[in-house]
Structure 1
Amino acid sequence: MKHVRAATPRHLRLPPFTDALPAPVFFRMERMPSNATYPSMTHRWGEFVYSFSGVTEVTAGEQHVLAPPHLGLWIPAGTEHIGFNDEEAVHCSIYIRRNLCTHMPKQLCAVIVSPLVRAILEHLRDHSPGAEEAPVRARLLRALVDQLSTCATTGSYVPHTADAELDAVLSALKSNPSDSRSLGELAKAFHMSERTLMRRCERELGMSLTEWRQRLRLVNALPLLRAGRSVESIAVELGYATSSSFIAMFRRLIGTSPRRFVTQAPPHPKEKAPARVRSSRR
Structure 2
Amino acid sequence: MQRGIQVPTAHVRQPPFTDQLPAPVFFRTERMPAHATYPVLRHAWGEFVYSYSGVTEVKAGNAHFIAPPHLGLWIAPEVEHTGFNHHEAVHCSVYIRRDLCHGMPDVSCAVMVTPLVRSILEHLRDLPDGTSNEPGRARLLRVLVDQLSVCRATGSFVPHSVNPELNTILQLLRDDPADNRTIIELAAMVNLTERTLMRRCQTELGMSLTEWRQRLRFVAALPMLRDGRSVESVAFDLGYASSSAFIAMFRRLTGSSPKRFVA
Give the TM-score category using the shorter length.
0.7 to 0.9
- Measure the CA separation in 1 of the matches of 2:125 and 2:217: 28
Identify the residue that residue 91 of structure 2 maps to in structure 1.
91
TM-score of the pair, normalised by structure 1: 0.70
Shift, 1:238, TM fit:
4.1
- Measure the CA separation in 1 of the matches of 2:143 and 2:208: 36
Q: Does 1:156 align with 2:163?
A: no
Q: Does 1:182 align with 2:181?
A: yes
Q: Which runs of 5+ in 1 are unaligned?
A: 268-282
Residues 1-282 of structure 1: pairs in structure 2 closer than 5 A: 3-7=2-6, 9-11=8-10, 12-130=12-130, 134-160=134-160, 169-173=172-176, 177=177, 179-182=178-181, 193=189, 195=191, 202=201, 210-221=210-221, 232=232, 235-236=235-236, 238-254=238-254, 256=255, 258=257, 262=260
1:79 alignment partner, SS class = coil
Q: Is the 8 A contact 1:39 1:82 kept in 2?
A: yes
Look up the equivalent residue of 2:50 and give its one-letter code.
Y
- Measure the CA separation in 1 of the matches of 2:132 and 2:75: 31
Q: After superposition, give the CA deviation of every residue in 1:199-248 in whole Å (9 maximum; x if it has no partner).
A: 6x948756665433311222355688899987656534644222331233
Higher relative contact order (CA 8 A, sep 6+): 1
TM-score of the pair, normalised by structure 2: 0.74
1:247 alignment partner, SS class = helix
> Cα 1:108–1:8, aligned 2, differ >3 Å: closer, same or farther?
closer
2:134 alignment partner, SS class = helix
> Cα 1:172–1:46, aligned 2, differ >3 Å: closer, same or farther?
same
- Measure the CA separation in 2 of the matches of 1:35 and 1:68: 16
Look up the equivalent residue of 1:33 and give its one-letter code.
P
Q: Which runs of 5+ in 2 are unaligned?
A: none
Q: After superposition, give the CA deviation of every residue in 1:171-200 in whole Å (9 maximum; x if it has no partner).
A: 533xxx5x345369x98xxxx93647x96x
Q: Is the 8 A contact 2:43 2:78 kept in 1?
A: yes
Shift, 1:104, TM fit:
1.9
